[in-house]
Amino acid sequence: MDARNDGAPLSPELYQTHSLSTNFGQLLPEQAAALVALNACLACHPLAEAHADYLSDQRVLVRHLIARRWNVDRAHVMALEALAWREKRPAHRWFAAGPPPGHPKHAEAARWAALFKRHATLGKTRVAGTDASGRAVLVIDASRENSRAPEEITRFFAWNLELCARTMQAAHARSSLGPCPDKIAMFVHMSDFSLWDQPSFEVLCESVHIISTVHEA
């Protein structure tokens, strides 16, 4: 289902989407209608209900619509794929305060916090602030991988992407720049690159999925 379903062609302006995800006042009527339709598609879906805290930020759905050129059906599929991933790894909640000591999940949360700290010490993946356009800068050093555990690598990468979003929002709140960007700048250092130090093909594929579908970066 496109943003319009009356058979009329979509206007070219529909695809001029720069910064729309943070400027709802710039949405064209067709785009606003697509957003309403996508919300309706997700209403009462178990995954949407389970992650209502994530979907409460409508910029998430606008980014899915932009990624799928405002085709509501395709954006719906993309949103469900992202929610299915977050059902397994709710990265949007990892920055919240952890469970207190004595809570059944405290030990697990503390274990992951220690693992993230260890992964961060080598600088293999880091958020290096923002660039002149306000985009978060994600730097990956391919020679510094220090783990062979797929779940650890995947979670740490997803955690850094969540940090990118929060870094951009914080920088935007302190500046007089225009709309908060919804894309990031990613740099991958290939110096001293070696296939022996790289994550598995499975991890690389999931990393692409995280960037292209879960975070729409």
CA–CA dist 139, 57 (Å, integer): 26
pLDDT in tens, 64-93: 998 899 999 999 999 999 999 999 999 988
- Cβ atoms of residues 142 and 188 within 8 Å: yes
CA–CA dist 68, 15 (Å, integer): 10
pLDDT in tens, 96-144: 777 778 888 888 888 888 888 888 887 889 999 999 888 999 999 877 7
pTM tops 0.85: no
CA–CA dist 217, 214 (Å, integer): 8
Computed from CA positions of residues 124, 130, 132, 134, in that sequence, does the dihedral angle turn out positive or negative?
A: positive
